[in-house]
Amino acid sequence: MLSTMRLRDTLCAAIGLLLPASGWAMHVTVDSTSARAVLAAVQNPSLTAEEATRVAEMKGNQGLVQKAVSYQMPATTEVLAEALLAAAHGTPAANPTAKSFRFEEVKARAKDLTALVDRIDGDARGFKDWVTARVALFSPADAQVEITGYLIVGGPSGGFAFGEPTFFLNLAYFSEFEAARVVMAHELYHAVQGALAEHPSAWWARPGALKGKHGTLARRCAETAQLFTDLYQEGSASYVGDPTLLSGEEGPLAKKTREDMVAGLSQLGNSRTLLELSVTGLEAPTPVPYEKVYALGFYMPEILYKLGYTMARAIAVDAGSAALAAFLSQPGFKFAAHYAALPKYGKDDNHPKLGPNVIAALERLKAGCRGGETQR
């Protein structure tokens, strides 16, 4: 009898074979050169500054720098090169930011991480093709997308994308084959979101809107809309890269990742309350800064991911995967509004109700966000 994970592998492989030969085209490249270069560098006690700089300048490793900067760290190519040298030579780095790349940990696990990269590179069908087939289920049938994923090791984040047809997967965080490919599906879907998203056309997103006569209203509309966009993007990516697909047969990381998701889904009241408070805070007379609201919900333990996941799952299960794919080119609030209009909305635990302030905010956004002040 097939295990649950092997059965899903078989189904996804079959789906991949059934994809149309024309029209739909997702070309995914998985580039492991940055990870391999770092693994070789940290194990080289004769590593020179020039060699370290060349490794630091590689595309995947520049993603490490960019991600550290997004966390308000003063990271640069030079700092990353310094971190590589310190790990290779077994000496402390002078720059405190160098520690954030965590290359000492990478060095300690270099043998196992190299074996994982070898397995990923040697099993395209079980890794890249599995991921691509999973993502294809929730992408438009006529999508034309070229995406490169960079395998990396080290840094302050497990996986990330920057709104472009590119993503980064940190194998130092997801060091099991099964867990790595599920997380890659999450990040690949973010890259698809970046590739297919349309530029927002709402009045509050136009140049100069925040400084105009109705700037206060524009800010409120823009930030509330962004909250729903983030909810959609993270929730749908979490469903595409679904941790509940993990069997845990490969190791403790897969098992823990699955258990954490299941535990979060059992406490959706927390997610619903936080979303309600987030909308209220953004629209208050003295609004909460967006960054603080985001930090409460989307960073660890990723409370709002669970609600977004539940909404995405409900849409896909009730209306089909194509219905979820349709939101790749729409504002995030339309995703939330569609969820709230599902026939089963509010009728069971798989379709939890949203708070009254959330529903009111959705109605304002659907109507063009012209409440309280008049926009002409």
DSSP string, 30-84: EE-HHHHHHHHHHT-TT--HHHHHHHHTSHHHHHHHHHHHHTT----HHHHHHHH
Please give the average per-residue pLDDT across 126-138, as a whole number: 94
At residue 128, φ and ψ (nearest 5 deg) are: -60, -45
Confidence bin at 17 (pLDDT 50/70/90): very low
Interatomic CA distance for residues 4 and 61, integer angstroms: 35
Q: What is the pTM of this model?
A: 0.87
Residue 371: what pLDDT? 55
Confidence bin at 209 (pLDDT 50/70/90): confident
Pick the more confident residue, 157 or 113: 113
pLDDT in tens, 142-171: 888 889 999 999 988 888 888 788 889 999
Alpha carbon 190 to its chain's center? 5
Q: Give residue 173's identity as a one-letter amino acid code.
A: Y
Half-sphere exposure of 36 (CA within 13 A, CB side): 10
Alpha carbon 129 to its chain's center? 19
Phi-psi region of 15 (alpha: psi -120 to 50; beta: other; left: phi over 0): alpha
DSSP state of 238: H
pLDDT at 184 over 70: yes
Confidence bin at 203 (pLDDT 50/70/90): confident
Spatial contact of 241 and 187, defined as CB atoms under 8 Å apart: yes
pLDDT at 19 over 80: no
Give me the residue spans of the domains in the chain: 25-196, 203-366
Residue 372: what pLDDT? 44
Q: Give residue 4's identity as a one-letter amino acid code.
A: T
| Terminal-residue alpha carbon distance, the chain | 65
pLDDT at 8 over 50: no
Interatomic CA distance for residues 26 and 149, integer angstroms: 13
pLDDT in tens, 51-89: 999 999 999 999 999 999 988 899 999 999 999 999 999
